[in-house]
Chains A and B, each alone.
Chain A
């Protein structure tokens, strides 16, 4: 299976700043990665599908200018939360689709916006 690593695992930032979260596929070349968001005591919600070398596909209701996704290589996708506000505080999780179609998840990144 694929090993997926996220960085940072925790980040605290001031309101109005931008934060970048990295998702790396350590042992698998991933043409597709997925970004999820999880609010406390709620489901994981798919935010967008990150496609290597092309634009990300965003789910309905997700602001693409707010959540910038870049998938510049087969092993790295980044999620940038621009002009973050307290309501953006959440747990962000990425996943990679492996060769068999199974999804492998990163350990998640907890963002707190003050």
Chain B
């Protein structure tokens, strides 16, 4: 079946550090890939997405590139801020699967001054 694997957290970084959160997937079809973010006390929000191989999703300084050859969609940001502290979820949706999302376990990011 479809699955998403994320690196375990929490990830603790100093402000302005470089961020990478790894995400790999297995899917029976050709998935679209997503990163969602959940800030404390709020619902999940779509951060970025990519719908086909080699696409790069980007938003708020975050980037992720759809790598079909390595089945990966790693999230990166060049310089994190305290306000980026949140839980990040990688997810996939297979074409023809309706809007059913398969999520990773989430990675908590803590950014300190």
Chain A residues proximal to chain B, CB less than 8 Å: 4, 6, 32, 34, 41-46, 49, 93, 95, 97, 101-108
Beta-carbon contact of A42 and B101 below 8 Å: no
A21 CA / B68 CA spacing, docked (Å): 39
- Whole-angstrom distance from the CB of B93 to the nearest CB of chain A? 9
B43 & A108 in contact (Cβ 8 Å cutoff): yes
Task: Enumerate chain B interface residues (CB-CB to A < 8 A).
Answer: 4, 36, 41-46, 89, 98-106
Q: Give the total number of A-B pairs whose CB atoms are below 8 A apart.
A: 38
Q: Summarize B's interface: helix, strand, loop or mixed.
A: loop
- Complex CA gap A30/B42 in Å reads 20
Q: In whole angstroms, what is the CA distance A9 to B11 when docked?
A: 26
Chain B: minimal CB distance from A47 (Å): 11
Would you give the shortest CB distance from A2 to chain B, in whole angstroms? 11
Inter-chain CA distance A4–B43, complex, in Å, is: 8
Compute how far the CA of A107 lies from the CA of B45 in the bound complex, rounded to whole angstroms. 10
CA distance A20 to B46 in the complex (A): 27
Contact in complex: A104, B99 (CB < 8 Å): no
